[in-house]
Structure 1
Amino acid sequence: MTDQVFRVMLRMEIRPGMEDDFEKVWREVGDSVTGHPANLGQWLSRSAEENGIYYIVSDWLDEPRFRAFETSDRHLEHRKKLHPYRSGGSMTTMHVVAALAGAAGPAR
């Protein structure tokens, strides 16, 4: 049920010239997030408008389980591996209240 999905969006500012390495490391350590039993998926997007800006979106079964992951050793190790590439960023959290599939989306 989509109204139970908890979504996290990170805005990552990556140091100039480190974008390719950041993407590579993100792929390498991604299973520390997606392997968590409460994680529904994770996406990495590069801004089409701002150099060095990335967005990471992850969906979770609910907020309490995300918060438990956020303070876990597993997450701290994940962050430690990505930290050298960051020059700044922010986090936004939200509850998904509705979802509509587009015509080109997966079959219903």
Structure 2
Amino acid sequence: MFGDMMGMMNKLKETQKKVEETKERLNYVLVDEQSTDGKLKITLTANRSIKSITIDDELLQDKEMLEDYLIMTINKAIEKATNVNETELAAVAKDGMPDIPGLDMFK
């Protein structure tokens, strides 16, 4: 019993390390999003840090339109990055969970 408990603790520590490594790696996974007409392009990391924004000159002429484009496109980019982030972290967590009878959270 005690050996099993130590094995589970070691597996949890290993999983925690892998989760931290995955979080760090996600700083380098880039997610691209653009408006439907391509006038605004945004790149951010899977950890949701904006890396670049490209704005068509036409949008610079209309402040309200630019604001609308930014809100819509940034929100879509954040949603996409969040999906990548959650999928990657869930995969690492699921892979590293010890086999505890009755505990099937990730199945």
Q: TM-score range by the shorter chain?
A: 0.3 to 0.5
Determine which structure has the larger helix proportion and give its number: 2
TM-score when scaled to structure 2?
0.33
Determine which structure has the larger strand proportion and give its number: 1
Report which structure shows greater RCO (CA 8 Å, sep ≥6): 1
Structure number, greater radius of gyration: 2
TM-score when scaled to structure 1?
0.32
